[in-house]
Amino acid sequence: MLSMDTLNRQNHEIAELTKVLAHLIRERELCDTAIASSLLDRYVARVQEHFERNNTQIYGELLTHQDVAVNNTARRFLEGEKEIKKLFNDFVGHWCRRGLHIDNHERFTSEAEDIFRLVSRRIQAECEELYPLARRVDQGTGMAQHA
């Protein structure tokens, strides 16, 4: 399993990118810069990496744990992740195919802010609930302490 320090560092980077991008995209002229496009590409790559590789390592142990409450928490996070990935991939497919493509700035800003908020809430939930649960399970103390 990845270390919790690594996961927390990755989440922190995603959070920082979110904050910077949220301010950049508000200005139409800044959206058209190579820097904004590069930052959005980096954000997309980090979020996809996070969902595709990092969290899946945590779920394996939690889904097979003997405590039903641990299993249920892992299933809930996994189901939520599937929905977020779908929405995130729809956003990327619409706005980020072959570079950042903005034909309607108001719509882009609205959809980007929704995605930023969704990913940020998810990261916060992971840091506050999923990772502490994984630490307790890894230490052999995951039995019903999270409920």
Q: pLDDT digit of tens for each residue in the chain (147 aa)?
A: 557 788 888 999 999 999 999 999 999 998 888 899 999 999 999 999 988 876 677 888 898 889 999 999 999 999 999 999 999 999 999 998 777 778 899 999 999 999 999 999 999 999 999 989 988 887 775 444 443
Domain count across the chain: 1
Report if residue 19 sits inside a domain: yes
Does some domain include residue 37?
yes
CA distance 7 to 121: 15
Q: Terminal CA-to-CA distance of the chain, rounded, Å?
A: 23
Residue 26 lies in a domain: yes
Residue 144 lies in a domain: no
Residue 146 inside a domain? The answer is no
CATH code, 97: 1.20.120
Q: Say what the pLDDT of residue 145 is.
A: 43
Range of the domain at 30: 4-138
Chain centroid to CA 18? 10
The residue among 99, 107, 119 whose CA lies nearest residue 48 is: 119
Q: Quick check: is 97 in a domain?
A: yes
- Can you give the pTM of this predicted structure? 0.85
Collapsed DSSP state (helix, strand, coil) of residue 135: helix
Report yes or no on 67 lying in a domain: yes
Question: Would you say residue 143 lies in a domain?
Answer: no
pLDDT for the residue numbered 44: 95
